[in-house]
Structure 1
Amino acid sequence: MFTTVQSLIFLMQIFHRHEISVATTFFLFLLFFANSADAEVRYDAHVITVSGKIDSLVYDDLSKIFANESVSTIVFKNSGGGSFFPALNIGKLISEKNVKTVVEGVCASACAIAFLGGDSREFSSEQADSALMFHPGFAQASQVPAQETKAIFFKWIESRTKHPPSPEFVAAMNKISNRRGGVYFLSPSHGIALKKGSSVFFCEGSEGNIGKCTTQSDSSAEKMHITSN
């Protein structure tokens, strides 16, 4: 039986052979794979790698590692999200440790919230097609972000970036129609960013393909202070 990561690699190989767009692959990853993977936290040589679902178990694992090991970097690798408040707690825990956070592959929803805890934040140099996706938390079974999480979400972003979210960013959050909606920040080296001439996309969630979302060609994760470089 394939693991989630093996299944993703297999799917992307098929898409490559059949020339299915990387934009479609990106959305399908979020829909079918990233949210279904169990959490995994690994430590090796001062680096913690977090993948899969972001939940309270990840917080517990990180707390134990921080208490016993020297940590310089946390890599968030292929996570479609998890739970809003555990992610916020993870981000706050990380923010107390003066460590770097790195996104490798897809880091969406709750993962992106936790990623913001890094003292410095960057896209992986090991994987060109890396991306972040932000949206507030959702009430159970709802396709629209819960109003009570929006204020917390915006306050967290402002506290970490030292800048309030732009009016365009806030407006994009208010237009979300389902859980795939949000603001997508792609690595400048991402295939979609190179093809579209933009690394920031505002998506309502119904587009089915990130290439159909509204682009912000004059912006980037770095310009919006989401990443440090």
Structure 2
Amino acid sequence: MSLSCLAVAGSAGAAELELQGRRLVVSGTLDGSKVKAFTEHLGSGAVRVVVFEDSFGGTAEAAGAYADAIRESGVQTEVRGHCMAACAYAFLAGKTHRFGRGLQVNGILLPVAARPTAAELAVRWRGEEARKTLADFTPAPGATDAAAARPIETSVTAPAPKDNWQPDHGVLFTASPTLFGRIYNTYYCDGTQGRDFSKCERLSDADPYKLGVLTE
């Protein structure tokens, strides 16, 4: 199984929630349609783990709302399959955050405004730094409703005014199963590759555990 397994066509629909015991599975686009229900689930205290499964983006506003609910409830987060852009920032808000087990290729794409340096990679997605990075894609107070709803998802065709997000642009962390365990790789994708992530530039010395993207 290779990075090309992450290449997909089309975009997922609106977010869907499914409660599986003490695990809440979130799939689809984080567009804000399920924020209230999501917050209520976490507020009940019945959820221990939020599992993001094949979520290909959403809005910065929704990402912030999901992240706040996750952070306040102290739940863990997990990714099964793909977790792109808005999903990735919500994922990082977990008390611990990990990739799911199984035979699937897992990938998480964290959007960036520009190619990060080695020094930026080392701290960019730890604690408060993750919030600061999300703020790069969040409208300032007083922005118009149109700007507030601007997407940070991989399916958009052009950035909104004053938006520095580009489609499929970010740092991609992947985990692929092999006979000898999982292999972890990190790539910088400049957006020109579209959904063919095998064309992204591989980054050395960018282990997701060392960088705080995965914690267990």
Q: Tell me whether the two structures share a fold, i.e. TM-score over 0.5.
A: yes
Higher helix share: 1
| Alignment pair present for 1:217 and 2:197 | no
Q: Where does 1:51-200 land on structure 2 (aligned, <5 Å)?
A: 51-135=27-111, 157-159=125-127, 178-187=166-175, 189=177, 199-200=185-186
The structure-2 alpha-carbon separation of the partners of 1:95 and 1:67, relative to structure 1 and needing over 3 Å to count, comes to closer
* Structure 1: segments with no counterpart, 5+ residues: 1-20, 137-144, 146-154, 166-175
* Structure 2: segments with no counterpart, 5+ residues: 114-122, 134-163
- Aligned counterpart, 2:189: 203
The structure-2 alpha-carbon separation of the partners of 1:127 and 1:94, relative to structure 1 and needing over 3 Å to count, comes to farther
Percent identity over paired residues: 23
The residue type equivalent to 2:173 in the other structure is F
Count of paired positions = 175
The residue type equivalent to 2:37 in the other structure is D
Please state how far the C-alpha of 1:156 moved relative to its aligned partner: 8.4
Q: Distance in 2 between matches of 1:54 and 1:71?
A: 19
User: Using CA pairs below 8 Å that are at least 6 residues apart, which structure has the higher relative contact order?
Assistant: 2
- Aligned counterpart, 1:26: 6
Q: Distance in 1 between matches of 2:186 and 2:78?
A: 18
Deviations 1:16-39 (A, max 9, x none): xxxxx8544423x2x51xx33221
The residue type equivalent to 1:157 in the other structure is W
Higher strand share: 2
The structure-2 alpha-carbon separation of the partners of 1:177 and 1:160, relative to structure 1 and needing over 3 Å to count, comes to closer
Deviates more, 1:78-87 or 1:211-220: 211-220
- Normalised to the residue count of structure 2, the TM-score between the two structures is 0.70
CA RMSD of aligned residues (A): 3.1
